[in-house]
């Protein structure tokens, strides 16, 4: 997790912040994130759906969980029990309960299908788990019995993205009967557990295989959902058919109403359509930025001098001789950041590359800017945001 996670008043000057905290800071705009959460929760609730905000994008930040809860989320979702423990044990979160500021019961969802070695912690910190196979469900049932708890599960069904979930081994096109034959026997087994309650089915798309949610794969989920309810005399609560990738279909009005459970992280935090990374016009994109301190600024050659070999990461890099350039080094590198996911906010800055602890930049014009000790700001994509929020060398600051 990040070195410091702090909420500050928006009127506090950056100069004061820079004197107090680390040289690499992730600034999180409370108003902008709150707007995005409020807008999406209202839209989803109008369709009688449920919004679970995904906190892993900011490494299980209790501050983010608070923003989610106060702006309409029905649950908090994360893929790490360590993150959920951090949230539940935080003063910020407990103040919400102690001051009776919660208007509804908040559920906590384990996003990653459980590791059997971690089931005790998962039962301790989560109310619901996404599951895909019998051994992990059996382990969850055993751990729930030991802790004298009931644990809810959502059975994941793979409709083509090839991440987690039940799928026919010879699947090439969507064939409903093949999916039924795979899913129904596992449902029957789940219903025999005494400490596990099946409360829904779900699917994941556009994470591994990049497969887009569409009317065909969503209809398969609806048909499975309806058939399970009918054949097993159930009233499943959730059809969890959408992460951020399902929002375009939702906004187009083509998402089936039966799909009522949305696990959203990236679109809430970055305000983008995750299928193409274009801005969603109703959402704000001024939500996060990374600020890194300048530690060196010199005119230097553009091409290294001497005999070349591999760099520190085993790469052989070719350099073009562009003459001298004004080079800047800022105090973060590959150990902290996904460099490919950074974009300087100032068009006068270009990224040259990075070693483990140093990010190399070129100042293209306006050469008096950015003296040593000043800070340069960057926008981040999802991967860069995950890396920065997880690094212990980056301060996370809510303002």
Whole-angstrom distance, CA of residue 147 vs CA of residue 127: 13
Whole-angstrom distance, CA of residue 189 vs CA of residue 211: 29
56 is catalytic: yes
399 and 7 in contact (C-beta within 8 Å)?
Answer: yes
Whole-angstrom distance, CA of residue 148 vs CA of residue 127: 13
- Per annotation, catalytic residue among 25, 56, 88, 297: 56
Give me the residues paired with residue 290 across strands: 26, 378
78 and 84 in contact (C-beta within 8 Å)?
Answer: yes
Count the neighbouring beta carbons within 10 Å of the beta carbon of residue 298: 11
Whole-angstrom distance, CA of residue 164 vs CA of residue 159: 10
Structure tokens at 70: 């106060």
- State the catalytic residues: 56
């Amino acid at each position: 997790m990040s070195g410091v996670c702090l909420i500050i008043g928006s009127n506090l000057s950056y100069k004061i912040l820079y004197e107090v905290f680390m040289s690499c800071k992730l600034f999180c705009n409370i108003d902008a994130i709150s707007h995005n959460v409020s807008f999406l929760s209202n839209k989803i609730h109008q369709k009688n759906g449920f919004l679970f905000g995904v906190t892993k994008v900011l490494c299980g930040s209790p501050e983010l969980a608070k923003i989610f809860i106060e702006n309409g989320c029905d649950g908090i979702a994360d893929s790490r029990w360590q993150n959920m423990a951090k949230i539940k044990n935080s003063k910020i979160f407990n103040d919400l309960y102690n001051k009776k500021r919660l208007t509804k019961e908040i559920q906590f969802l384990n996003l990653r299908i459980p590791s059997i070695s971690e089931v005790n912690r998962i039962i301790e910190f989560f109310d619901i788990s996404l599951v895909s196979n019998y051994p992990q469900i059996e382990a969850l049932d055993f751990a729930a019995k030991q802790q004298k708890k009931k644990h809810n599960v959502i059975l994941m069904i793979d409709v083509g993205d090839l991440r987690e979930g039940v799928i026919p081994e010879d699947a090439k096109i969507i064939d409903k009967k093949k999916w039924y034959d795979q899913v129904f026997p596992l449902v029957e087994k789940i219903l025999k557990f005494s400490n596990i309650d099946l409360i829904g089915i779900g699917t994941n798309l556009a994470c591994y295989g990049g497969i887009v949610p569409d009317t065909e794969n969503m209809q398969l989920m609806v048909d499975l959902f309806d058939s399970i309810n009918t054949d097993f005399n159930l009233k499943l609560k959730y059809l969890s058919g959408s992460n951020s990738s399902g929002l375009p279909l939702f906004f187009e009005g083509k998402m089936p109403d039966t799909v009522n459970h949305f696990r959203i992280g990236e679109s809430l935090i970055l305000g983008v359509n995750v299928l193409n990374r274009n801005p969603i016009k109703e959402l704000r994109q001024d939500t996060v930025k990374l600020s890194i301190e300048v530690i060196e600024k010199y005119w230097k050659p553009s091409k290294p001098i001497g005999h070349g070999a591999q760099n520190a990461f085993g790469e052989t890099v070719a350099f073009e001789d562009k003459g001298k350039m004004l080079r800047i080094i800022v105090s973060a590198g590959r150990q902290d950041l996904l460099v490919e996911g950074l974009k300087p906010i100032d068009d006068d800055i270009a990224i040259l590359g990075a070693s483990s602890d140093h990010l190399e930049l070129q100042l293209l014009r306006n050469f008096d800017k950015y003296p040593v000790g000043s800070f340069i700001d960057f926008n981040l994509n999802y991967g860069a945001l995950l890396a920065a929020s997880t690094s212990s060398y980056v301060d996370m600051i809510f303002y």
